[in-house]
Amino acid sequence: MVDKITYSPDGHLQVPDEVAIPFVEGDGTGPEIWSAAVTVFDAAISKVYGGTRKVKWKEVLAGEKAFRKTGEWLPQETLDCFRDCKVGIKGPLTTPVGGGFRSLNVTIRQELDLYACIRPVKYIPGVPSPMKQPEKVDMIVFRENTEDVYAGIEWRAGSNEARKVIDFLNSQMGQDIRHDAGIGIKPMSAFGSKRLVRRAIRWAIDNGRKSVTLVHKGNIMKFTEGAFKEWGYEIAKDEFDNRIVLEEELMADPRDVPDRIVIKDRIADAMFQQILLRPEEYDVLAMPNLNGDYMSDALAAQVGGLGMAPGGNIGEEVAVFEATHGTAPKYAGKDMANPSSVILSGAFMFEYIGWSEVAGRIRASLEQTIKDKIVTYDLARQMRGAKKVKCSEFGRAIVDHL
C-alpha cells in the first residue's frame, strides 16, 4: 500500500516501504532532466531493494506548467501536498515576470518554512575543475533561508514608503540618508539564526564531521551578521557543550579532540579566500542568507559548476530537494542539459529518508559514468577524449552502471 512519510513521537522520520513522494518537474530543461533522473532513481531502488521498497511519484504543479493548467503559478494544492508528504523534490522554476512573486523558489521556502538550504559540495573524480586539487573540497553549506535581505523587505527609490522610512531614520534616528535612496531591510533574529546553527551542528555530529564554521560579516554589520555569530556560539555552548570545542580554546591549549566538533568563525570575505587556498580545513559551514547564496555557488564552481551541485531545503517537518541551477531556457527541448544536479539531489533525498544504500548506489554509478568520460555537453567541452551524450543517454548510462 502506498503511504506517506510520518514522524514517530520522538521526532524520527518513519518511511513506509511504498512511499508517496511529490515532484515538480520544473520549467525549461526541467522536464528533460527530471525524466532522466527518475529513470535513475527507480532503477537504483529496484536494484537495491528488489521490489520490496518503491516510490510512488506524485506530480504536483508549479511554475509555467501550473500556470498553463490552473492559471496559478504556485497552486495551494502543491504546498499542501509537500506539507502532507513531508519530503519532495523539484526541478528548476522560471521566475514569473509580473506574477506577483519575487521568486517561486523563495516563496516555496518561505511558505513551508524550509529554513535551511543545505548544499553538499564534494568533488567527483574526472569532473573538470579550475582547482589544482579539487579533491580537497568536501564541505556542506547550511544557508539560512527565511531572513536577511532575501526576506524581501524593500522599497523603490522615490516611493512613498521609501520616503517615509528615510524621513523617520533621518529625523528620529540621527541618520543622513539621501532622499533618492532605495531602501532594503536586513532582519536577522536570534530564533532564525539559532535554529540554522543548531541544525548544522546536529548534522555535523550525526554525520561524523569535524568542524562547523560560522561565516559572517560581523566586523561591519555588527547587529545582524555579528549577532548571527554570537547566537551561533551561544547555541553551540548551551546545547552541545559536551560535543563541541571552540577553536579559540584549541589555540590556547592545542590537543587532539577526535570526538568533538570544532566550532570556528570566519569573516565572509576572508572565507572566500580560505575555500580556495585551504579547503581541507573546512567542513560544515553555517551562514546567513546572502553569504550562503554567494558561497554555495562559488564552492559549486570549484567542483565543476552548478550542473553538478545537489541541494535541499529543510524545515522542522518538511524537506524539498532541488536542482541548484536554473531552467537553462536556451537548451529547453534539446535533450542536452546535464541532469546530475537533480540526480544528486535525489541521492541526497534518499539519504535523508534513510535509504542510504540507494543514495550510495546512485552516486557510485554517476561517478563511474563520468570516469568513463560519458558526459553531457557542458562537461564534454572541458574534457579531453570525452564522449558527449544527450541528457537522456547520460541517464541511461548511469542506469547501466548501477
CB of residue 28 to ligand NAP, shortest distance in Å? 6
Catalytic pick from 4, 65, 217, 264?
A: 217
Query: Up-side HSE of residue 376: CA atoms within 13 Å toward CB?
Result: 25
- The span from the CA of 311 to the CA of 289, in Å, is 15
> Under the criterion CB under 6 A, does residue 107 sit at the interface with ligand NAP?
no
CB neighbour burial string for 89-118, b if at least 16 within 10 angstroms, e if fewer:
bbbbbbbbeebebebbbbbbbbebebbbbb
Residue closer to ligand NAP (CB basis): 166 or 308 = 308
Q: How far apart are CA 16 and CA 53, in angstroms?
A: 8
> Which residue of 15, 81, 328, 375 would you call a contact of ligand NAP, by CB under 6 A?
328
Note whether 85 binds ligand NAP by CB under 6 A: no
Q: Residue from 224, 296, 327, 365 that binds ligand NAP (CB under 6 A)?
A: 327
Q: Are 321 and 348 in contact (CB under 8 A)?
A: yes
Among positive and negative, which fits the CA dihedral 309, 314, 319, 325? negative
User: What distance in Å separates the CA atoms of residue 257 and residue 118, rounded to the nearest whole number?
Assistant: 26
Q: If binding is defined by CB under 6 A, does position 369 make contact with ligand NAP?
A: no
- Closest approach, Cβ 377 to ligand NAP, in A, equals 7
Q: How many CB atoms lie within 10 A of CB 257?
A: 13
Nearest Cα neighbor of 321 from 285, 375, 359, 369 is: 359
Distance of alpha carbon 328 from alpha carbon 37, whole angstroms: 17
Closest distance to ligand NAP from the beta carbon of 25 (Å): 12
Q: Which residue carries 503559478 as its cell?
A: 73
Choose the binding region for ligand NAP from 222-230, 313-321, 325-333, 360-368 (rule: CB under 6 A). 325-333
- Out of 120, 307, 346, 395, the only residue in the binding site for ligand NAP (CB under 6 A) is 307
Among the listed residues 115, 150, 331, 377, the single catalytic one is 150
Question: Do the Cβ atoms of 213 and 285 come closer than 8 Å?
Answer: yes
Return the C-alpha cell found at 320. Answer: 524539498
Half-sphere exposure of 381 toward its Cβ, with a 13 Å CA cutoff? 6
Residue 162: C-alpha distances to residues 14, 157, 172, 182 (Å): 49, 6, 15, 6
* Closer by beta carbon to ligand NAP, 94 or else 193: 94
Query: Kind of pairing, strands 154-155 and 183-184?
Result: antiparallel
User: How near is the Cβ of 95 to ligand NAP at its closest, in Å?
Assistant: 3
Q: Closest CB to ligand NAP among 78 and 327?
A: 327
Binding region for ligand NAP (CB under 6 A) out of 150-158, 184-192, 330-338, 365-373: 330-338
Q: What are the φ and ψ backbone dihedral angles of 263, each rounded to 5 degrees?
A: -100, 125
Residue 278 CA: distances (Å) to CA of 61, 121, 124, 130: 43, 15, 19, 15
**Residues 33-62 within binding reach of ligand NAP (CB under 6 A):** 33
* One of 16, 326, 354, 360 touching ligand NAP (CB under 6 A): 326
338 binds ligand NAP (CB under 6 A): yes
**Judged by CB under 6 A, how many residues of this single chain contact ligand NAP?**
20
Give min distance, CB of 178 to ligand NAP, in A. Answer: 30
The reply to whether 99 sits near ligand NAP by the rule CB under 6 A is no
Q: What is the smallest separation between the CB atom of 329 and ligand NAP, expressed in angstroms?
A: 6
Of 17, 167, 180, 269, the catalytic one is 269
Which is nearest to 316 in space by CA: 212, 228, 190, 191? Answer: 191
Q: Is 259 one of the catalytic residues? A: no
Q: Is 94 in the site for ligand NAP (CB under 6 A)?
A: yes
> Which phi and psi (to 5°) does residue 13 adopt?
-70, 135
Choose which of 65, 109, 266, 325 interacts with ligand NAP (CB under 6 A). Answer: 325
Cell of 276: 580556495
Active site residue 150: yes
Task: State which H helix or E strand residue 387 sits in.
Answer: strand 387-388
Shortest distance in whole angstroms from residue 296 CB to ligand NAP: 11
Instruction: Considering the candidates 3, 84, 138, 293, report the single residue annotated as catalytic.
Output: 293
Q: Does 25 bind ligand NAP (CB under 6 A)?
A: no
Establish if 308 lies at the interface with ligand NAP (CB under 6 A): no
Binding residue (CB under 6 A) for ligand NAP from 25, 322, 335, 351: 322
Does 64 bind ligand NAP (CB under 6 A)? Our answer is: no
Where do contacts with ligand NAP occur on this chain (CB under 6 A)? Answer: 29, 33, 92-95, 105, 306-307, 322, 325-330, 337-338, 341, 378
Residues annotated as catalytic are 150, 217, 269, 293
